[in-house]
Amino acid sequence: MEFSELARSSGEWLRGSGPESDIVISSRIRLARNLADYPFISRANTADRAEIERTLRERILRVREATELDYIDVDKLEGIDRQFLVERQLISREHAEAEGARGVAIDPQERVSLMINEEDHLRIQVMHSGLDLAGAWDQISSIDDLIESQVTYAFNDRLGYLTACPTNVGTGMRVSVMLHLPALVITRQIEKLFRSLQKISLAVRGLYGEGSQAMGDFYQISNQITLGRAEIDLVKQVGDVVPTIIDYERKAREFLVRESQETLHDRVSRAYGILRTAQTISSEETMHLLSSVRMGVNLGLIPDLEIPALNKLFIYTQPAHLQKLTGSELTTADRNIERARYLRRHLNKEEGSKN
CATH code assigned at 68: 3.30.590.10
CA angle 121, 124, 125 (to 5 degrees): 140
Of the two residues 21 and 211, the one the predictor is more confident about is 21
Statement: residue 341 has pLDDT above 90:
yes
Statement: residue 180 has pLDDT above 80:
yes
Residue 98: predicted pLDDT:
93
| Residue 20 pLDDT grade (very low, low, confident, very high; cuts 50, 70, 90) | very high
Residue 246 lies in a domain: yes
pTM of the complete model: 0.90
Q: Are residues 96 and 128 in the same domain?
A: yes
Residue 193: predicted pLDDT:
92
| Residue 272 pLDDT grade (very low, low, confident, very high; cuts 50, 70, 90) | very high
User: What is the rounded distance in angstroms from the CA atom of residue 182 to the CA atom of residue 186?
Assistant: 6
pLDDT, tens digit, 9 for 90 and up, residues 236-258:
999 999 999 999 999 999 999 99
Residue 145 lies in a domain: yes
Q: Are residues 93 and 116 in the same domain?
A: yes
Lowest mean pLDDT, pick from 145-154, 287-296, 324-333, 344-353:
344-353
Residue 352: predicted pLDDT:
42
Rounded to an integer, the average pLDDT of 67-91 is 91
Rounded to an integer, the average pLDDT of 9-14 is 70
User: What is the rounded distance in angstroms from the CA atom of residue 116 to the CA atom of residue 91?
Assistant: 10
Domain count, the chain: 2
Residue 352 lies in a domain: no
User: What is the rounded distance in angstroms from the CA atom of residue 293 to the CA atom of residue 301?
Assistant: 9
Domain boundary among 219, 253, 287: 253
Structural domain for 203, as ranges: 3-253
Q: Are residues 49 and 113 in the same domain?
A: yes
| Residue 212 pLDDT grade (very low, low, confident, very high; cuts 50, 70, 90) | very low
Of the segments 10-14, 326-330, 351-355, which one has the largest average pLDDT value? 326-330
Residue 353 lies in a domain: no
User: What is the rounded distance in angstroms from the CA atom of residue 115 to the CA atom of residue 72?
Assistant: 10
Element (DSSP H or E) covering residue 243: helix 231-259
Domain boundary among 234, 253, 272: 253
Residue 43: predicted pLDDT:
94
Question: How far is residue 73 CA from its own chain's centroid?
Answer: 20
Q: Long-range contacts of range 17-20, CB-CB < 8 Å, 24 or more positions apart?
A: 17/129, 17/130, 17/308, 18/128, 18/129, 18/130, 18/131, 18/132, 19/130, 19/131, 19/132, 20/130, 20/131, 20/243, 20/246
Residue 268 lies in a domain: yes
Residue 134 lies in a domain: yes
Rounded to an integer, the average pLDDT of 211-222 is 76
Rounded to an integer, the average pLDDT of 299-308 is 89
